[in-house]
Amino acid sequence: MSTFDRLAGFADSITNAKQVDVSTATSQKQAAEGFTPFQLTPDSAYNLQAGRAGNLGIGAFEPGSLQADFTQASPMELIAKYGTEEGLRILNTRANASDEVRQDLSKERSVARAFGDSASGIGLGAFNSLGGIAALGAGLLNDNAGATLAKGIDWVGEGVRNTQSDALNSTRKVVQNQNQISGQENKKLYDKDIADGESNLVASLSRIGRDAYDSVANTLDNGMAATDGLSEGVGSLFTAGPLIRGVSKLSHSSIISCLCSLDILYSLSITQITNTCLKWFTTFKSLNHLVYSTVIKT
Same-domain pairing of 96 and 222:
no
- Domain coverage including residue 202: 113-296
Residues 242 and 278 in one domain: yes
Confidence bin at 24 (pLDDT 50/70/90): low
Are 184 and 221 within one domain? Answer: yes
Is 30 a member of any domain?
no
Confidence label for 273 from pLDDT (cuts 50, 70 and 90): very low
The residue out of 71, 106, 141 marking a domain boundary is: 106
Number of domains in the chain: 2
DSSP class per residue in 17-75: HHHHHHHHHHHHHHHHTT-------HHHHHHHHHHHHTT--TTTS-TTSHHHHHHH--H
Same domain, yes or no: 190 and 44: no
Indicate the range of 58-62, 129-133, 285-289 predicted with least confidence.
Answer: 285-289
pLDDT of 71 > 60? The answer is yes
User: Are 159 and 82 part of one and the same domain?
Assistant: no
pLDDT band at 228 (very low <50, low <70, confident <90, very high): confident
Q: How confident is the model at residue 2 (pLDDT cuts 50, 70, 90)?
A: low
pLDDT at position 146 is 76
Task: Write down the mean pLDDT value for the chain.
Answer: 75
> For position 35, what pLDDT does the model report?
59
For residue range 111-160, what is the model confidence (pLDDT) as tens digits?
999 899 888 888 888 887 777 777 777 777 777 877 888 888 888 888 98
Q: 130 CB contacts (<8 Å, ≥6 apart)?
A: 239, 243
Which of 67, 88, 106 delimits the end of a domain? Answer: 106
| Among 205, 186, 232, 223, CA closest to 59 | 186
Give CA–CA dist 127/160, Å, rounded. Answer: 11
Query: Is there a domain that residue 5 lies in?
Result: no
Cβ neighbourhood burial of 47 (10 Å; 0-12, 13-18, 19+) = buried
Please give the Cα distance from 213 to 55 (Å, whole number): 15
Q: Kindly indicate the confidence band of residue 170, based on its pLDDT and cuts at 50, 70 and 90.
A: very high
> Rounded to an integer, what distance in angstroms lies between the CA atom of residue 3 and that of residue 9?
10
Q: Which residue, 61, 85, 106, sits at the end of a domain?
A: 106
pLDDT score for 44: 95
* Residue 11 reports pLDDT greater than 80: no
